[in-house]
Amino acid sequence: MKRAFAALSLFGLVLAQEAHRVAITHPFSPVNRETNFLLVWVLVFSVLIFGVVAGALAYITWKFRAHPGQQGEPPQIHGNDRLEVIWTLIPVAIILVLFGLTARALIQVNQPIPGAMKVEVTGYQFWWDFNYPELGFRNSNELILPVGVPVELEVTSKDVIHSFWVPGLVGKQDAIPGQKTRIRFVAENPGNYYGFCAELCGPSHARMLFRVLVVPKEAFDRFVEAAKGYTPPVADARGQEVFQQNCMACHSVQGKMPPAVIGPELAFLGNRVSLAAGIVDHTPENLKAWIKDPAAMKPGTKMPGFPQLSEEDLDALVRYLEGLKVEGLDFKALPKF
Ligand code: HEC
Ligand SMILES: [Cu+2]
């Protein structure tokens, strides 16, 4: 009993801590406030209907129960026009109100925002790619956005159906192969927002996360400038060699969309707050562990392991990868949502 209670309170604790990440009760964009408004009203009606129906049922069951000494069937009643009209009209009125609220929210949420910044979002098993066609750069697994600027995401997939969801900001929006779906929103507060794939897409669906890093406009502009003129720094010459021999077939470090994308863009890896589609914090140790044996961290991943690399080569490679960054930006300081 004690143990069950302890487990339960631990569960509660975890929920309380995780709630902030997942709850859409902390809306940080107008789109989410709109969906929240709808959610609350649908909930209010549901609770009211449940209360009235369950209450009536309980009352009637109690009131018309068999009394001691009662014999045979009670009087049988057939039809009551007034009652039937009432219980048809009330649900129709409720449905009409909910329809109105839903239509309002849908129109609001789907409205094109003129001059919105475009980002192409592509889902892969089990990671996300973010390409900025107008700004001429690309990043994977971490979507960097400026505060207060409207964005339009063009969401698609290169393999199976995924779904793009950032509980604090926007979504969900399905990522469907061969099709482009759009979502628009404005992020109003700086932060490191958790994102999820919300459509079962394979063995590591639950490990297909991402981050949205919302930064002040000035920091974003600095990043864009640096990304445009980016030449990948070479922090370790041996590391670069190892990279070119083993990794370049799948990974780019240029920060631009290569013709055929196989793996995530590694151009700004040094600036990342997370690794492997948001599943672990970005540390040199996690990076090394990932390269050695990605499948240990993410079953079913499309990246092969590199157990054959010597410790020296691995360390050189990690130094090289950590050096791939834009100087003067610290995304790790952003508050987490
Ligand atoms: C056959 C193609 C392929 C090769 C070769 C390959 N990778 Fe990968 N890599 C991938 C794919 C696909 C992913 C995405 C895995 C996932 O998240 O499921 C990935 C993910 C990564 C990540 C995590 C990226 C992120 O955004 O967090 C790193 C780091 C990485 N690879 C480094 C390397 C290094 C270093 C090498 C060479 C030693 C290498 N990869 C070789 C395909 C490859
Ligand atoms: Cu997915």
Ligand having the closest approach to the CA of 161 = 2
Q: Helix, strand or coil for residue 305?
A: coil
Q: Helix, strand or coil for residue 255?
A: coil
Nearest ligand 1 atom, CA 301: 18
200-218 in b/e form (b: 16+ CB < 10 A) is ebbebbebbbbbbbbbeee
Which residues on adjacent β-strands are paired with residue 166?
170
Domain ranges of the chain: 2-63+80-110, 115-337
Mode of pairing for the β-strands spanning 127-132 and 117-124 = antiparallel
Where does residue 63 fall: left (phi above 0), alpha (psi -120 to 50 degrees), or beta otherwise?
Answer: alpha
Confidence of residue 24 (pLDDT cuts 50, 70, 90): low
Tell which one of 210, 246, 251 to mutate to probe ligand 1, the residue whose CB is within 8 A of the most ligand atoms: 251
Q: What is the pTM of this model?
A: 0.83
Where does residue 72 fall: left (phi above 0), alpha (psi -120 to 50 degrees), or beta otherwise?
Answer: left
Quick: pLDDT tens for 222-247.
999 999 889 999 999 999 999 999 99
Mean pLDDT score across all residues of the chain: 89
Going by CA atoms, what residue is nearest to atom 24 of ligand 1? 276
Per-residue pLDDT at 26:
66
Per-residue pLDDT at 21:
53
Q: What is the distance between the alpha carbons of residues 36 and 33, in angstroms, rounded to a whole number?
A: 5
Helix 284-292 crosses helix 311-322 at what angle (to 10 degrees)?
130
CA of 126 to the centre of ligand 2 (A): 6
Helix (H) / strand (E) element for 62: namely helix 30-63
Per-residue pLDDT at 22:
53
Domain 115-337 has CATH 2.60.40.420: yes
Q: What average pLDDT does the segment 163-167 reach?
A: 91
Is the CB of 298 inside a 6 Å radius of any atom of ligand 1?
A: yes
- In CATH, the number for domain 2-63+80-110 is 1.10.287.90
Contacts of 171 (CB under 8 A, 6+ apart): 163, 164, 165, 183, 195, 198
Is the CB of 128 inside a 6 Å radius of any atom of ligand 1?
A: no
Beta strands in the chain (DSSP E): 117-124, 127-132, 137-140, 142-146, 150-157, 162-166, 170-175, 181-186, 191-197, 209-215, 274-275, 280-281
Is the CB of 314 inside a 6 Å radius of any atom of ligand 1?
A: no
Please give the share of the chain, as a percent, with pLDDT higher than 70: 92
Confidence of residue 7 (pLDDT cuts 50, 70, 90): low
Q: Are 24 and 36 in contact (CB under 8 A)?
A: yes
Going by CA atoms, what residue is nearest to atom 36 of ligand 1? 247
Going by CA atoms, what residue is nearest to atom 16 of ligand 1? 126
Backbone angles phi, psi at 49, to 5 degrees: -65, -45
Q: Are 140 and 120 in contact (CB under 8 A)?
A: no
Is the CB of 249 inside a 6 Å radius of any atom of ligand 1?
A: yes
Is the CB of 268 inside a 6 Å radius of any atom of ligand 1?
A: no
Going by CA atoms, what residue is nearest to atom 23 of ligand 1? 276
